Each structure stands twice: as structure tokens, then as C-alpha cells.
Amino acid sequence: LHPRWREEVRERLRDVGEGTLEHPRYGTSFLLTGEVEDNRKVHHLLLFPSFSAVEELEELFSSKTEDLKREGRPHVDLSPPEVAEAALSVGCLVGPSHAFTPWTSMYKEFNSLKECYADLADRIVFLELGLSADTYMADRISELSRLTFLSNSDSHSPWPERLGREFNRFGIEEPTFEEVRRALERRGGRCVLLNVGFDPRLGKYHRTACSRCFKQFGLERAKELGWRCNDCGGWIKKGVWDRVNELADLPEPLSPPHRPPYLRVAPLAEILALGMGAEVRDPRVRESWRKLVERFGSEIEVLVDAPPEEIGEVVGRELSELILAFRKQELKVFPGGGGRYGRLELPPHLSKKMGQRTLGDFT
């Protein structure tokens, strides 16, 4: 919604109609999306059919916020149903962003979709899982079974390894707003075919933890302490894991037939950094990352499909073994919490070989 972003998009991309923009050189297609915060500090994800819809919504919000020219994600003085009503009235798709996180999400504030969106709950067709949750966690909450899940990167920083760290594979004819709408509504054979996202333990808010020193707590202990850390006095933030357990009405995930698989991944650069005992932004890590992506075409190809021998030819056998260990889910995960990302650790059989290395936080 910020006018500078719109200028940027207009300058650099070509409008090819149907709400789709295209990069003139790379041919990558883009849709217009945005996020707003309502008066309960709940974040909503918006998908716009056109620039004119963005302008219409800006007009509707303009008397309710001072933020439009200040913030990429404006705070508007409207309730959740009022935000949804405004968005729907200009033809947007709207739904909860990172729905379980402890600061700014639907489920930190409400116990159900209905409580949040009131009479408009039925018109919400998707939910964004966020980095600290996955399909299997969300499918323990039966009210979500009719919704389409989105696994989006929610990248707010300029670091390239954050872009596309989560993504969705759509079964659509062409990358237009209407086709994406059909996919989210699961009409005409359109659908989301695959959600690809973090192992939720790698997310920043997976476990209940202190937001200052990141000490982790069980839910009961956090309650006993009145949500204040007994080490540093900082606020304890409820983890997505504990929040989902509170909300869950099913003991085990029960995915509806329309639910696509969720593929758990980690950023390739993080895995390489772990194997090399270096920081993610170390030039050697970046160089190996670049070589692999150039050779196999994409990060996901390297993480999921590329033959280990061929990976070995590019970056050596140790790193190819590490990627294989990742595929077999042999890497240990120290869960994130309180605003700090989780981290990967070497499994015993590799840490002997590679020396005892642990990766610092993803920052």
C-alpha cells in the first residue's frame, strides 16, 4: 500500500493485465500483495486484483490511518471484520497472516476464525501458516479444514536467502490473480499442489520463550511465572507449538482430502554454512550456494532432487553427505522461540567427521 513501493513496481515491472506484472528481463510474474495491521494488532494478508483496487483500498483506509506513507505494513484503526469488509469490497482476497505467532496474529488475539472475522468468516478462504507452523500442526484445528493453507516467506529484510525460503506450488493455467483466486477457492480444478516451508521448529516463535534472553519454558511454567522470565525479567512469549496445542480439538492432524503435502525444508545456505563451520553470509558459503544453484537451477532442486554424487562434484563429498542427511531428516533441530530462529545441528556421524560445529543463530 505504500506509494513508494507502487512507484517502484510500476517502474521496474510491466503490467501484463489481469493483475499480473512481469519483469521485462527475467519474465518472472508478480501479483500485488500487501499486509495490514488492524486495531487488535492482527495482521491480514491482501491479494489485489489490480492497481486500481490498491488505490480504492488506500482511499477506504485513508481516514483510519496515518501510516500509509510511512509504513510498508500500515496500522489501520479498524476491527478485523471491518478490514475484511473493505478488502472484499474492492475485490481483494483477504486472510490471516502468520496466523499463530504471538505478537500480531489472529490466534494470539482470538480463539477462532469466527471470533476474529465475525459474519465475514465464511468469506475467508485461506490462512497463512507462518514460519513456525506447518500443515500438520494447523490440521489439528478442525475449523481450518475448509481453508487453503499458504506457506509464504513473509520476508521483511533485504537478505536474498530470505526470499522464497517458503513457497507454494500452484496448479493453475497461468500466473494471474483470477487463477490464483480459483486455486485458493479450489474451483475449476485449480489448487495449491504443494506447500513448501520451514521445519516449523526453525521458526522464530515455535517454542514458548523469553523475548529478551530466549530461555525456553513449558507452558505451565510460563503461566506460573506470570509470563516474566525468571532469569532476565523479559516478557515470555507463547510459542506457536503451545498455542496450537491449546486450540487443537483433534489429538492428531486430520488433513482433509484437498490438503496438499507439506514439504519441510531449510535454507540451503544455512545447511552449507553448518557444514563449512562458517556464517551464512561468509563469501565461501555464498560461492558454494551460487555454484549449486547455477548447476541445478534452483535451491529446492538441490535440497530435494539433485543426485548426491553430482552435488559432490560441485561442492565436495562432505557437503553432499550433509545435504543427504538433511533429506533423511537426520539433522538435529534446536527449536526457535521468543523471536530467535531455530538452528540446525550436525548429526553425530557427521559431526565427528566435520568437527564439532554448531551453527550460530540464523539472523
User: How far, in Å, CA of 345 to CA of 363, rounded?
Assistant: 16
Torsion sign, CA atoms 202, 204, 207, 213: positive
- Distance in Å, CB of 26 to Zn ion, minimum: 27
Please say which residue, 42 or 273, places its beta carbon nearer to Zn ion: 42
The CB-of-226 to Zn ion minimum distance in angstroms stands at: 13
CB closer to Zn ion, 33 vs 145: 33
Selection from 274, 273, 298, 295 nearest residue 284 by Cα = 273
Among positions 31-70, residues that touch Zn ion (CB under 5 A) are 43
Residue placing its CB nearer to Zn ion in the complex, 231 or 361: 231
> Phi and psi of 26, rounded to 5°?
-95, -15
Among 297, 331, 287, 324, smallest CA distance to 308 is for 324
User: Strand 20-22 to strand 236-237: parallel, antiparallel, or no bridges (unpaired)?
Assistant: unpaired
Piece of the chain touching Zn ion by CB under 5 A; list 117-125, 234-242, 279-287, 347-355: 234-242
Among 113-121, 196-204, 208-216, 258-266, the segment contacting Zn ion (CB under 5 A):
208-216
Of the two residues 131 and 272, which places its CB atom closer to Zn ion in the complex?
A: 131
Number of residues that bind Zn ion (CB under 5 A): 10
Which helix (H) or strand (E) element contains residue 195?
strand 191-198
229 binds Zn ion, rule: CB under 5 A:
yes
- Which one, 193 or 213, has the nearer CB to Zn ion? 213
Looking at beta carbons only, is 99 or 265 nearer to Zn ion? 99
What is the contact mask toward Zn ion in residues 72 to 101, using x (rule: CB under 5 A)? Answer: -------------------------x----
Query: Of 232, 246, 261, 290, which lies in the binding site for Zn ion, with binding defined by CB under 5 A?
Result: 232
Count H helices and E strands in the chain, helices first: 15, 14
Among 163, 193, 213, 225, binds Zn ion (CB under 5 A): 213
Q: 168-192: string of b/e by CB count within 10 Å (b at 16+)?
A: bebebeebbbebbbbbbeeeeebbb
Site for Zn ion contains 231 (CB under 5 A) = yes
Determine the interface stretch with Zn ion among 133-141, 179-187, 229-237, 270-278 (rule: CB under 5 A).
229-237
Determine the 3-state secondary structure of 346 from DSSP: coil
**Of the ranges 50-58, 213-221, 276-284, 309-317, which one interacts with Zn ion (CB under 5 A)?**
213-221
Query: Residue 239 Cβ, how far from Zn ion at the closest point, in Å?
Result: 14
Binding Zn ion (rule: CB under 5 A), the pick from 93, 210, 303, 323 is 210
Q: Is 234 in the site for Zn ion (CB under 5 A)?
A: yes
Helix locations, the chain, DSSP H: 3-12, 51-61, 80-89, 106-109, 113-117, 135-138, 177-185, 219-224, 240-247, 268-276, 283-296, 299-300, 308-315, 317-327, 348-354
Residues 237 and 211 sit within 8 Å (Cβ to Cβ): yes
Task: State the residues that interact with Zn ion by CB under 5 A.
Answer: 43, 97, 210, 212-213, 215, 229, 231-232, 234
